């Protein structure tokens, strides 16, 4: 079946359809409709309202998209496109971003605020350049998905310069090595298993883990 322009499923196969259109002021709009038939009817209605230059419904005129909502979309995107491990790591990083940015309108977050947060955290946690770049990529992913979903129009993290990483060989655990290490720690030191998992999935070192959690 050919998909009509302006209607789409955020998650293919979900059966939940959305519509997108441009209003009389040139702003791109996105709205959840329900099934495909409802989406087609809603899109036709919005086009008619635009032609007649009617005002948008009240609930669409002042809707503010929060950073938290973009994070939820970013996780949904990761679940559809990336591995379970990558999504788990993204979820851990987002959990640390939400207390700082979660309630903020996404469009209000500026490039200099992101740079300031990254700089402060890198100093406090003694991040390597690769760790800082990972966190920067998390911001960029969240805003990029927001643009793709037509909820926002700019990515404030896109213009941030990445830190140069060392040219030496970077060693990662293979899946088999990680499995054996987890099994050994779970058998001999089970109380430290959460520490290992946090380290593997976020890149945090032992010192910064304890500093972050307040453990002595």
Higher pLDDT, 68 or 210: 68
- pLDDT winner (highest mean) among 22-31, 105-114, 147-156, 177-186: 105-114
C-alpha closest to that of 124 among 116, 112, 133: 116
Q: Is the pLDDT of residue 212 over 60?
A: no
Determine the Cα–Cα distance for residues 82 and 4; give it in Å rounded to an integer. 27
Query: Residue 188 contacts by C-beta under 8 Å, 6 or more apart in sequence?
Result: none
What mean pLDDT comes out for the span 131-143? 94
What are the E-state strand segments in 99-191?
none
25-45 residue pLDDT tens: 667 777 888 898 888 898 888
Q: Which candidate, 73, 128, 69, 78, places its Cα nearest to that of 104?
A: 69
pLDDT value at residue 189: 81
- 135: tokens are 């966190």
Backbone angles phi, psi at 18, to 5 degrees: -125, 165
Output 2 or 144, whichever has higher pLDDT.
144
Mean pLDDT rounded to a whole number for the chain:
82
Query: How confident is residue 216, by pLDDT bands cut at 50, 70 and 90?
Result: very low
Model pLDDT, residue 49: 76
Phi-psi region of 76 (alpha: psi -120 to 50; beta: other; left: phi over 0): alpha
> Would you place residue 182 in the very low, low, confident or very high pLDDT band (cuts 50, 70, 90)?
confident
Q: How far apart are CA 180 and CA 173, in angstroms?
A: 10
Which pair of structure tokens corresponds to residue 215?
Answer: 């453990």
Q: Which of 17-26, 90-99, 154-163 has the highest mean pLDDT?
A: 90-99
pLDDT in tens, 55-75: 555 454 446 899 999 999 999
Element at 18 (helix H, strand E): strand 17-22
pLDDT at 61: 45
Which sequence spans correspond to the domains of the chain?
7-61, 67-148, 175-213
């Amino acid at each position: 079946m050919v998909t009509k322009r302006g209607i789409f499923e955020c998650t293919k196969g979900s059966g939940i359809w959305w519509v997108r259109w441009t209003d009389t002021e040139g702003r791109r709009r996105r709205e959840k409709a329900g099934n495909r038939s409802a989406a087609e009817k809603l899109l036709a209605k919005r086009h008619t309202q635009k032609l007649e230059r009617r005002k948008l419904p009240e609930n669409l005129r002042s809707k503010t998209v929060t950073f938290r909502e973009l994070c939820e979309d970013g996780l949904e995107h990761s679940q559809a496109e990336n591995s379970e491990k990558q999504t788990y790591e993204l979820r851990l990083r987002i959990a640390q971003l939400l207390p700082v940015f979660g309630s903020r309108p996404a469009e209000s977050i500026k490039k200099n605020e992101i740079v300031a947060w990254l700089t402060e955290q890198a100093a406090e946690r003694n991040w390597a350049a690769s760790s800082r770049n990972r966190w920067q990529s998390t911001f960029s992913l969240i805003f990029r998905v927001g643009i793709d979903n037509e909820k926002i129009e700019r990515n404030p993290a896109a213009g941030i310069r990445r830190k140069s990483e060392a040219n030496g060989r970077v060693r990662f655990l293979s899946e088999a090595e990680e499995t054996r290490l987890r099994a050994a720690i779970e058998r001999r030191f089970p109380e430290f298993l959460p520490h290992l998992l946090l380290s593997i999935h976020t890149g945090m070192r032992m010192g910064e883990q304890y500093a972050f959690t307040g453990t002595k």
